[in-house]
Amino acid sequence: MPEETQRKRVLSLIQPTSVPTIGNYFGALRNWADMAEDYDCIYGVADLHALTVRPEPAALRRQTAEVMAMLLALRLRQGNNILFVQSHVAQHCQLAWVLNNYTQFGEAMRMTQFKEKSSSHADNINLGLFSYPTLMAADILIYQANYVPIGADQKQHLELARNIAERFNGLYGQVFTVPEPYIGKVGSRIMSLQEPAMKMSKSDPNPKGSVSLLDPPEQIIKKIKSAVTDSEACVRYADGKDGVNNLMAIYSCSTGKDFAAIEQEFAGQGYGSFKQAVAEALVEELCPFQEEYKRLLADKAYLEQVAHEGAEAAGRIAQRTTAKAMKKVGLWI
């Protein structure tokens, strides 16, 4: 990564909590790939964030390497781009601690994800879960990121990061770049196949609700065919047709066709042939990725080398921003 660059910088992370879904893919990862050519991109695995739900240690370690292999399989490490693992760059935690002091309790309390996760993990509402958004703000601000490609569910966290940056800059002068979210028009909120009013999630206990990026073709076809729709038997995008709208979004993301073209293509046909087409398009989209992923995962030494180089390159940028912020607030460094 050159020290001074004219190109805008992009940053985004994904948690290694389990195999990413097509929600993560269409909402975020695919946009990461689209931006990888035109920007200096820093992408990574948010393993520190995953600790908030206390994962099984061996699973966390394994999944971190697996997600790294997925990011490589998506060709996210081209040009000057950096791929790294969050915990390998210690400054994220240092800066997050500083930012905690510029974030109000009330602001953190308002985070929808905190409210949702507190109710789904009622036995473990820990401080990590509560301060999750300030660590996320540190992830972004530490790299002076201009754009952050995310799904709609992370928009509120991004807004908080912007507020923290503006507050800090207001007090101490220009320290952080104020980041902009990049949220795609279609696919920013892929819904569960079984409960289409809820977002598709890696942690959904119902395996039929989500398609993972590693599901084999037969399973993808089965899951799409059993997706909940409605009794109208008409492929059109409309309020109250959450299941069909969701399948249309998946089809649109996989084929590049817009909703009007999709309605026309399936006019007068029932959901059977529509679902078949959605499943086939999805299989076609994911197959090359799955092949490449398997090849990369088998090469552990290469994955370790990528993580090591990523940590060094990311660490150099992170160190500069952290030192600046620490000096500004009066720490003797």
Catalytic positions, written as ranges:
117, 199, 202
Could you give the CA distance from residue 227 to residue 250 in angstroms, rounded to a whole number?
Answer: 12
CB of 268 to ligand TYM, least distance (A): 30
Q: Using an 8 Å Cβ cutoff, are 142 and 314 in contact? A: no
Closest to ligand TYM by CB, 41 vs 277, is 41
Q: 10 Å Cβ neighbour count for 93? A: 14
For ligand TYM, give the closer residue by CB, 190 or 248. Answer: 190
Q: Which amino acid is at 121?
A: H
CB of 237 to ligand TYM, least distance (A): 17
Which of 40, 47, 66, 153: binder of ligand TYM (CB under 6 A)? 153
Which residues, 6+ apart, have CB-to-CB distance to 124 below 8 Å?
53, 54
Can residue 139 be called a binding residue for ligand TYM (CB under 6 A)?
Answer: yes
Candidates 64, 134, 154, 254: give the one binding ligand TYM (CB under 6 A). 154
Helix (H) or strand (E) holding 176: none
Given 10, 140, 262, 313, the residue binding ligand TYM (CB under 6 A): 140
| 136 near ligand TYM (CB under 6 A) | yes
Structural contact between residues 281 and 47, judged by C-beta atoms closer than 8 angstroms: no
Binding mask 42-81 for ligand TYM (x = CB under 6 A): ----x--x--------------------------------
Question: Which residue lies nearer to ligand TYM by CB, 23 or 243?
Answer: 23
Instruction: Mark 179-208 with x for binding to ligand TYM (rule: CB under 6 A) and - for no binding.
Output: ---------xxx--------xx--------
Cβ contact 82:42 at 8 Å = yes
Residue bearing tokens 């006019």? 267
- Nearest residue to ligand TYM by CB is 27
Q: Any contact of residue 27 with ligand TYM (CB under 6 A)?
A: yes
Give the span between the Cα atoms of 136 and 166, in whole angstroms: 16
Give 6's Cβ-side CA count (13 Å radius). 0
**Bridge-based pairing state of the strands 40-45 and 147-149:** unpaired
Work out whether 12 is an interface residue with ligand TYM (CB under 6 A). Answer: yes
Closest C-alpha to 184, from 4, 12, 304, 319: 12
Q: Which stretch binds ligand TYM (CB under 6 A): 77-85, 145-153, 240-248, 259-267?
A: 145-153
Other C-beta atoms within 10 Å of 271: how many? 21
Contact residues for ligand TYM, defined by CB under 6 A:
11-15, 23-24, 27-28, 46, 49, 136, 139-140, 148, 150-151, 153-154, 188-190, 199-200
